[in-house]
Amino acid sequence: MIFSLRLCVFASNYFRVKTQSRKTFVVKFPAIHYFYRMTEENLKILSFFENIEKYYGCKTEITEGLYSLQESFDNHSTTWNLSEFTLTRSGYRKSGGRMMMEGEKMYFEISAALIVSFKQTGRNSFEFIEKYGESVFRITKIRFHYRY
């Protein structure tokens, strides 16, 4: 299941409207209103990026792996990269639908439209899986060294 988070994901001025037990949002951008129904997974992703400011100034580890899914995920046949930086900013790039995290001399993006899985793996650890092709995936593990 691919989540569709496109343009309206990380507006800081959204509000909830409850209709027939569905979670529905009206997201406001300047002069534009989007009516959008959210899944539980999308709400978790939204919550992650709406609350990411608490990690500003923290050491951030991003481990990303590229793999091709044949039968199941194999840790040994994945190409891994590790980046460490202090998180200074985050945002959402409407053009291209990308979630961004930035530090000094470091910039990282996650495609909102390609997310197929999101989970919190620890108190300050998160995991995204993006599907880039029929059998090509990127797994991104984010760990914040949060002081509280």
pLDDT in tens, 49-100: 889 999 999 999 999 999 987 666 677 788 999 999 999 999 988 788 889 9
Greater confidence, 47 or 64?
64
Of 99, 118, 128, the C-alpha closest to 11 is: 99
> Is residue 9 situated within a structural domain?
no
Q: How many domains does the chain have?
A: 2
> Is residue 8 situated within a structural domain?
no
> Is residue 2 situated within a structural domain?
no
Report the DSSP pairing between strands 79-93 and 98-103: antiparallel
Residues 59 and 18 reside in one and the same domain: no
CB 132 within 8 Å of CB 140: no
Residues 35 and 84 reside in one and the same domain: no
Residue 62's pLDDT is what?
Answer: 97
Residues 127 and 56 reside in one and the same domain: yes
> Is residue 101 situated within a structural domain?
yes
Question: Residue 27's domain spans which residues?
Answer: 14-49
If you write DSSP's letter for every residue of 2-40 in order, what string do you get?
----TTTTT-SSEEEEEETTEEEEEEEETTEEEEEE--H
Residues 43 and 63 reside in one and the same domain: no
Percent of the chain scoring above 70 in pLDDT: 72
CB 14 within 8 Å of CB 33: no
Residues 6+ apart with CB under 8 A from 37: 22, 23, 24, 25
> Is residue 119 situated within a structural domain?
yes
Residue 41's pLDDT is what?
Answer: 83
C-alpha–C-alpha distance, residues 108 and 102, integer Å: 6
Statement: residue 26 has pLDDT above 50: no
Residues 56 and 26 reside in one and the same domain: no
> Is residue 1 situated within a structural domain?
no
Statement: residue 39 has pLDDT above 90: no
Residues 27 and 85 reside in one and the same domain: no
Residue 129 sits in a domain whose CATH number is 2.70.180.10
Residues 74 and 33 reside in one and the same domain: no
Residues 130 and 60 reside in one and the same domain: yes
Of 131, 143, 29, 13, the C-alpha closest to 83 is: 143
Residues 70 and 135 reside in one and the same domain: yes
pLDDT band of 10, cuts 50, 70, 90: very low
Residues 76 and 125 reside in one and the same domain: yes
pTM, full prediction: 0.72
